[in-house]
Structure 1
Amino acid sequence: MNKDILFLTGIEDFSTIIEKNSYYVDKTSYLKELFMSGSEVLNALFIRPRRFGKTLNLDLIRQFCRLNYQNPGDKSYQQKLFIDNGRNLAVAGDEYKELREKIMGELPVISISFKTVEGACFQQAVSQLVYKVGLLYDEFLFLIESSKQDLDDIEKYKKNKSFCKDKQDELDNPQNLNRAISILGTAIPQIASMLYKEYGRKVIVIIDEYDVPLQKAVIAKEPYYGDMLSIIRTLSGNIFKKDNEPWLYKGIVSGCLRIAHQSVFTDANNFTTYGMNREPYTGFFGFTEEETQKLLADCGLSEKENEVKEWYDGYRFDDKHIYCPWSLISYCDEVLHGSTDKPQPFWVNTSGNDLITMFTDNSMEAHNAENIDKLQKLLDGETIDISIKEFTTYPDLRNRVSFDVFMTLMLHTGYVTFAEGSELTGKVTVKIPNQEVQACFNEKREYLYGEDNPYWYNQALKLVDLLIENKTEEAQALISSMLKEFLSIRNSGDELYYHGFMVGVIGIASAAKGISFHEEIESGDGFPDIVLKNDATDTVTVIEFKKGRNERLERIRCAEDAAKQIIDKRYAEPYLAEKYTNVYGIGIGFGGKDCYIQSLGNLSH
């Protein structure tokens, strides 16, 4: 192993990676396509899952193009960063000479990231945006000292900068809030226009993670999606509008999702979206197989290639297999400098998962038996067919969205990918890409059926009430319904599975209800599966399980056998001796995705 290799995991600043001699997978060849292809594409939207290198690549573009504002003819910064660094980056080659002459260090660049913009309410989120814009005013402060600028523009610049600094935390005042919204819509065009006037050169505008504020607006305790959408639409319209000012050279935007309805980019001029299947940029984000093989070889980890492929490969971007760069770099860093050489799910706790949780919390589609079966197939390593649906608006996730829309969201966010041989539009076939994402699914599954999920938790609370009150017909229907939803039903090989299912469900809810829960406690001549005790109502319910074949008569027979065992082994005797008023005996027969309950009634009578 080559332990001398340095990884700056999580660093998304291109210059830091180069200057500190950290490992870098060269993506500079794509600069030629972006700026010299002769394409009429003015503005580009790159859609990729979280942690696929969007921020680093956008910073690469910024650093390569950015003009030296104090000395516009000086390209020494880029020369040192891209050419004379001993790395033999693609952009240093002879075939990129024209690109270097025309683009490298030649253009003003305005770059802003919305990655961290969020708030519990609208005012807090606007405050975050105002802070971001305030940093832009600080960056280009030299413009107010220029004799080339109009005095009115300079005065407006000063006032806006002062507001961003002094009023950022005073947006509860409606007047301040309205002023802030106005500034957000005009700040970048204002600065860009002044840069164009200053240098006579068109401006590149970069916006990273444009959709994060919209996502956060939906999941907030007090959702404010409509208000945030208005800000982002106004901002993008003023920057990328069809009748744009002469100052715009190119707009470059990144995000996780493209919103179709109420499009953010309705008024944008010549905006092209490059999704996971849109050449020529399918290899621009993430690591290709060749790049991954080189990385492992450089680390002295080539023997780990198969294991790495199983855990971090599997994403299909057009005809390329792409590895998650965050995960791969994290893995190599851990093996070389950490305490284990075992693959881990590094991606599981990264951003972008809130929408998945929201769907499972709020949509009945997440609990539809047919859809649960499809999710189970994914968990089993199989493929499923879906129809790609244009994602409409984030608030849809608080309502009943279709399973196909949900799966399209999963595709965009990296939870599933196109299967080999699948079409890339329309009716497609998808699968879980690798072991790492499998771990993500397993974690989500535990959440989906855990006490933190209100839908599942409320079902469990209801079931405990029904069992402690001996309402067996309703309990039977509810258990069967829950079994149909439970993702792991395919693993029901023996009685222990159903035992674990019931113990998990009832155990969680019993504590919340103040009901004593006992699993296989010694009672009479044996150990009943579950005993529930509620001293407040002077009630005990003794429950025994049996598993049979997936046939109705077999389930009935098993339930009768389970009930008989309660009698034969005298499971209820200790509670009868303690003079409980209500002592119920319940036998449950399981088979497939259904159950049958046989009640012994109140044994104390």
Structure 2
Amino acid sequence: MTIKEAAAAWGITERRVNALCKAGRISGAYKEGRQWFIPDGTQKPMDKRGRRSTGKPAVSSARKPLPIGVSDYRDACKNYYYVDKTLMIKEFLDERPKVSLFTRPRRFGKTLNMDMLRTFFEKTTEDTSVYFRDKKIWFCGESYRVHHRKYPVIFLSFKDVKYTSWEETYQTLQKLIAQEFRRHDELASSSALSNYEKEEYSLLATEAADEVEYQMSLRTLTLLLHKHHNVAPIVIIDEYDTPIQQGHVSGFYDTIIGFMRNLFSGGLKDNPHLSYGFLTGILRVAKESIFSGLNNLKINSILDERYSEYFGFTSDEVREMAEYYSASDKYQELCDWYDGYRFGNAEIFNPWSVIGYFNNNCRPKAFWQSTGSNDIIREVLASATPDIMERLELLMKGESFVTHIDTGVIYPQIQNDPSSVYSFLLVAGYLKAVSCDQSYGEDYMCEVALPNKEISFVYSKEILSQLENIIPRSAAIAIQEAIYKADIESLQKALEKFLLQTISFHDAADETFYHGLILGMCAVMDNSYRITSNREAGDGRFDIQMLPLNKRLPGILIELKAGKGRSETQLEDLANVALQQINDRAYSVDLRAMNVTSIIKIGIAFSGKRTRIAAERQNIE
């Protein structure tokens, strides 16, 4: 931070901060020209009596804003609250693999980290040391700083290449590659290049080359940059698999795989004009030979220990952030909602959601859900076998199970091999590995579970919405209205009508069937409620709880009972037993704790296609 920022944060004058810097009283402070710079987060030095309280108090306006959607490293580290991940550079330079692939879920800081690498390594006329002098990497020694501004860098991001046809996708890839050529416009007049090479550069820079030449464009650009700078460049490709996922969803998977295979093979495989390469994505896509013969590729998946703490926030980083924004008392809520991911040996929070939480005045919600398409998880669920659905329901109840995990899972496997769904859900961020043992090759046996409340919400929304296809909209609306009003007679008629129209006698097997049916009814309601099922509350586990997102709506608790061959009187008694269980076991304790002021309690009893209902409304004063 600058002298001005430090003065505002510490509640003293700029002249006083300047004097403290000159006196060597501020650790890590350094001078650039006439301007002093102070490491972010530095505390105000103590006075001679060992106090920091002199001067006017710091005000909240001095806090740096939250980096909502900021992926530019220069902007993030200077103008926003930045969690220092620069030791990733040290870890890389200690190992120096030729090509590194980092696979992580979306919105876990991949783009920001890649831009950090570009800013550090790229040879430029700008003195970019100003972005690192107060960061951890700068204090690691000259052997690391010597790599600063040393290499020409090729940077391509495919994160926004999301089109439904190959023609649009290719046009976009062509434009992105051409823009990167134009960014290196020093090549157009380079004395180190031949006229033929300059002409080749011009064709690629002006989008006049053909598809084959663009497939070889990485090879071409690394050669030209190497000749001009006399230093082999670094290649960074961010979110390389985004267009591949889109190709899978939209039907041009084989075509995009062919293009990417040739692009990466030319630029990264046995290329003497390459210093290092970095790629990020969600999946590895190795089985399609997209990295065919690339024996210099170092894969860093979510199950590998290297670089485990650099994507996402660690617990210490979240605690520090909570303290900075005066929300230390919210740490446990942050854990419940956004912690739980495990990358290698590090426990990780979802960074996008943590930032969203602070920006939302510390009110939790599923921020991550809205950051991208859930098409793939919908495809997973659409092709899920009954065994898979049963396991997914176990996850929603907070349980775990052991399964085979292949970190090289590819999109077509979702359709061809239903058991691969757990591998995809893990690498995409919808599961966490509670424990993991590598069995052979890149395959693992892992105990998996849902990471946190946020992902539980995503599962509830996406999994339960699968039932919408078997529930007529008119029936759903009638049942919803009756539930809202606690209208026992209307609810009973609507349910019986639906059961008579849609299920056979044999379908009505047990309580589990009816549970799924009612849960589906609730799920296709609008976004007025957050629905949970089979969760502990009070002295037991409720069947269904509906937490209103609008406090003016009532909370709803539903308990289900089923029995074969029951008489009307026995059904009524069973419905009353279900209602009494809600009261006896204090299932309403969670809703009351969340300040819900009105609670509708519903006991439903089923026998074949007949049903009886008991209900009551409780107003909380």
Amino acid at match of 1:235: L
User: Do structure 1's residue 200 and structure 2's residue 230 form an aligned pair?
Assistant: yes
Amino acid at match of 2:411: Y
User: Do structure 1's residue 65 and structure 2's residue 121 form an aligned pair?
Assistant: yes
In 2, the alpha carbon distance for the partners of 1:469 and 1:46 equals 50
- Which one of the candidate residues 328, 341, 349 is aligned to 1:315? 341
- 5+ residue gaps, structure 2, are 1-58, 477-495, 527-558, 573-603, 612-621
In 1, the alpha carbon distance for the partners of 2:498 and 2:219 equals 68
- The answer as to whether partners of 1:372 and 1:485 remain within 8 angstroms in 2 is no
In 2, the alpha carbon distance for the partners of 1:124 and 1:264 equals 21
1:56 to partner: Cα distance: 0.2
Residue 507 and residue 390 in structure 1: after superposition, are their counterparts in 2 closer, same or farther (change >3 A)? Answer: closer
User: Do structure 1's residue 90 and structure 2's residue 146 form an aligned pair?
Assistant: no
> Which position in structure 2 is the counterpart of 1:566?
none
1:98 to partner: Cα distance: 1.3
In 2, the alpha carbon distance for the partners of 1:137 and 1:597 equals 69
In 2, the alpha carbon distance for the partners of 1:469 and 1:312 equals 39
1:8 to partner: Cα distance: 2.2
User: Do structure 1's residue 383 and structure 2's residue 400 form an aligned pair?
Assistant: yes
In 2, the alpha carbon distance for the partners of 1:388 and 1:126 equals 33
- 3-state secondary structure, aligned to 1:476: coil
Residue 390 and residue 309 in structure 1: after superposition, are their counterparts in 2 closer, same or farther (change >3 A)? Answer: closer
Q: How does 1:126-137 map to 2 (within 5 A)?
A: 126-137=170-181
- Which one of the candidate residues 19, 24, 29 is aligned to 2:82? 24
Deviations 1:506-554 (A, max 9, x none): 999xxxxxxxxxxxxxxxxxxxxxxxxxxxxxxxxxxxxxx9965xxx4
User: Do structure 1's residue 476 and structure 2's residue 490 form an aligned pair?
Assistant: no
Q: How does 1:203-602 map to 2 (within 5 A)?
A: 203-220=233-250, 223-241=251-269, 243-244=270-271, 246-335=272-361, 341-351=362-372, 353-361=374-382, 363-365=383-385, 368=386, 370-397=387-414, 399-402=415-418, 404-419=419-434, 421-423=435-437, 426-450=444-468, 454=469, 475-478=504-507, 489=516, 500=518, 554-558=563-567, 596-597=608-609
> Which position in structure 2 is the counterpart of 1:537?
none
- The answer as to whether partners of 2:107 and 2:352 remain within 8 angstroms in 1 is yes
Deviations 1:192-219 (A, max 9, x none): 1111000110110001111111101121
Deviations 1:485-513 (A, max 9, x none): 78x54xxxxxxxx6x468669999xxxxx
In 2, the alpha carbon distance for the partners of 1:455 and 1:475 equals 13
In 2, the alpha carbon distance for the partners of 1:456 and 1:468 equals 12
- The answer as to whether partners of 2:409 and 2:424 remain within 8 angstroms in 1 is no
- 3-state secondary structure, aligned to 1:163: coil
In 1, the alpha carbon distance for the partners of 2:433 and 2:407 equals 16
Deviations 1:461-500 (A, max 9, x none): 9xxxxx989988962345559x8678x54xxxxxxxx6x4
User: Do structure 1's residue 7 and structure 2's residue 66 form an aligned pair?
Assistant: yes
Q: TM-score, normalised by structure 1?
A: 0.71
- The answer as to whether partners of 2:218 and 2:264 remain within 8 angstroms in 1 is no
1:422 to partner: Cα distance: 4.5
- 3-state secondary structure, aligned to 1:189: helix
In 2, the alpha carbon distance for the partners of 1:56 and 1:469 equals 52
- The answer as to whether partners of 1:58 and 1:206 remain within 8 angstroms in 2 is yes
> Which position in structure 1 is the counterpart of 2:91?
33
- The answer as to whether partners of 1:476 and 1:597 remain within 8 angstroms in 2 is yes
- The answer as to whether partners of 1:384 and 1:431 remain within 8 angstroms in 2 is yes
Q: CA RMSD in A?
A: 3.4
1:286 to partner: Cα distance: 0.7
- The answer as to whether partners of 1:411 and 1:417 remain within 8 angstroms in 2 is yes
Deviations 1:135-161 (A, max 9, x none): 112211221111211111111221222
1:181 to partner: Cα distance: 2.6
- Which one of the candidate residues 182, 188, 194 is aligned to 1:138? 182
1:446 to partner: Cα distance: 3.5
In 1, the alpha carbon distance for the partners of 2:433 and 2:499 equals 49
Amino acid at match of 1:380: K
Residue 389 and residue 30 in structure 1: after superposition, are their counterparts in 2 closer, same or farther (change >3 A)? Answer: closer
In 2, the alpha carbon distance for the partners of 1:470 and 1:373 equals 23
- 3-state secondary structure, aligned to 2:191: coil
- 3-state secondary structure, aligned to 2:370: coil
> Which position in structure 2 is the counterpart of 1:161?
205
Amino acid at match of 2:211: I
Residue 476 and residue 282 in structure 1: after superposition, are their counterparts in 2 closer, same or farther (change >3 A)? Answer: same
Q: TM-score, normalised by structure 2?
A: 0.69
User: Do structure 1's residue 150 and structure 2's residue 194 form an aligned pair?
Assistant: yes
User: Do structure 1's residue 187 and structure 2's residue 196 form an aligned pair?
Assistant: no
Residue 89 and residue 471 in structure 1: after superposition, are their counterparts in 2 closer, same or farther (change >3 A)? Answer: closer
Deviations 1:412-448 (A, max 9, x none): 11111012x4446622111111111111112213422
